[in-house]
Amino acid sequence: MTSQHQTPALERMQTAQVTQAEQTAQAAQAPKILLVKLSSLGDVLHNLPIVWDLRKRLPDAQIDWIVEEGYVHLLEPLKTTATFKGIDRIIPVAFRRWRKNLFSLRTWREFFAMRKLLQATAYDVLLETQGLLKSALVCALAKKSNNLVVAGLGNATEHSGYEPIARMFYTESVHVPLKCHAIDRSRWVMCSAFDWPLFNRNEDPPRFYPQAFVEQLPPLLFEGLKKTEQGAPMPYVVCFHSTARAAKRWPNEHWVELGKELSRQGYQVILPWGSEAEMKVSALIASQIPGAMVPRAFSIEEAYSLVAHAALTIGVDTGLTHLSAVLGKSTVEIYCDSPRWKTEGYWSSMIANVGDMKTVPLVDEVMMAAQAVLVAQSARQQKQFN
């Protein structure tokens, strides 16, 4: 026979069980998530879609992102506001700068300040999509809830950096195909962590920035931009010829031939640079193309405006070329010594990809791709006006 009256100890135990169940249910609907993708430009850009993916399925989640200080501005357009739910907190880190000043008091003050930010929230899910020791160490520093999931890459993909020791810091090592697009790789880790079906890239194409942000980017004004006879700005084509690895470059003589054809068609060719050596290459190419110009140095923030107002961006496999693609602008990506499947823009008809690993495209191929992209752009504009 059971008593009609429960003891205080039993009541406290049942209350605790109910509270724990409520907390578990709340964590499932509104988990606290930390995205760990520290660098570099292209890698951070290709990780942006999982913010939209997470918001689609977990609208009430807390989403934070830790990133190298030099790339914080890439995330700011996705920060949560009164009218937009995106990234709730951006945590800057400065590993690149700190390792050059290990004995500096400032370095250690900044490090402990960063650690304090990581400890301010008990995270339920860490998504580590970099696969390196430094990014895995960030996971070790973060404060964790009782049911924490740390999901990270369980294997290297072809032609990507990976450090197997990082797996020691994961609770879930996610194995991905050896040939896996950078965006799909991040989605693979995310879906595994939440036990979701993998996103279909055709049914759920990646999203990057709010359209309102892209549309309000101001023109980048600098000396040398030409005007038409009617006084309107001459349409320009941005050519990103430089990249960190020389083997990924397209031959200078190809740029010259392409630039001459673009000039004949009424476009001004703009040849940006990022170092003194690259500026000399830009000057050499520009000297052989009528009307071409070498602009002043500009920041990555200014690059948003530069490509947003270009008639077309053509570039090798580098972060600035990918920036044009993720902004949804007319883009031709040239692959010479890197696999196209790894980073190609597949989400818009206004992006063309030419060349491939050890397959340097000809000038005619690039020009044909450029014409196709411009036709797609024109068709889209006409559709918007109608």
Residues 161 and 110 in one domain: yes
Q: Please report which confidence band the pLDDT of residue 14 belongs to, taking 50, 70 and 90 as the band edges.
A: low
Choose one of 185, 212, 239: the last residue of a domain.
Answer: 212
Calculate mean pLDDT across residues 85-102: 95
User: Rounded to 5 degrees, what are φ and ψ at 151?
Assistant: -105, 130
Q: Does a structural domain hold residue 186? A: yes
Calculate mean pLDDT across residues 298-308: 95
Residues 235 and 353 in one domain: yes
pLDDT of residue 82 exceeding 50: yes
- Which pLDDT score, from 0 to 100, does residue 383 have? 73
- C-alpha 296/C-alpha 220 separation (Å) is 11
Q: Does a structural domain hold residue 305? A: yes
Choose one of 164, 187, 212: the last residue of a domain.
Answer: 212
Output Rg (C-alpha) for the chain, integer angstroms. 24
Q: Please report which confidence band the pLDDT of residue 386 belongs to, taking 50, 70 and 90 as the band edges.
A: low
User: Could you read off the pLDDT of 105-164 as tens digits, one per residue?
Assistant: 999 999 999 999 999 999 999 999 999 999 999 999 999 999 999 999 999 999 898 999
Burial class (CB in 10 A: 0-12, 13-18, 19+), 380: middle
In DSSP notation, 127-192 reads EE-S-SHHHHHHHHHS-EEEEEEEEEE-S--TTS---GGGGGG-SEEEP--SS--HHHHHHHHHHH
Q: Does a structural domain hold residue 16? A: no
Using a pLDDT cut of 70, give the percent of the chain over it.
92
Q: Does a structural domain hold residue 70? A: yes
Residues 55 and 163 in one domain: yes
- C-alpha 329/C-alpha 349 separation (Å) is 10
Residues 179 and 311 in one domain: no
Domain range enclosing 264: 217-385
Q: Does a structural domain hold residue 159? A: yes
Q: Does a structural domain hold residue 9? A: no
Q: Does a structural domain hold residue 2? A: no
| CATH assignment at residue 355 | 3.40.50.2000
- Which pLDDT score, from 0 to 100, does residue 1 have? 42
Residues 324 and 177 in one domain: no
- Which pLDDT score, from 0 to 100, does residue 226 have? 86
Q: What is the mean pLDDT of the chain?
A: 92
CB 248 within 8 A of CB 332: no
Residues 139 and 233 in one domain: no
- C-alpha 289/C-alpha 293 separation (Å) is 9
Residues 135 and 234 in one domain: no
Choose one of 183, 212, 241: the last residue of a domain.
Answer: 212
- Please tell me the total count of domains within the chain: 2
Calculate mean pLDDT across residues 159-179: 95
Q: What does pTM read for this prediction?
A: 0.90
Calculate mean pLDDT across residues 98-110: 93
User: Could you read off the pLDDT of 188-197 as tens digits, one per residue?
Assistant: 999 999 999 9
User: Could you read off the pLDDT of 351-377 as tens digits, one per residue?
Assistant: 999 999 999 999 999 999 999 999 988
Residues 170 and 232 in one domain: no
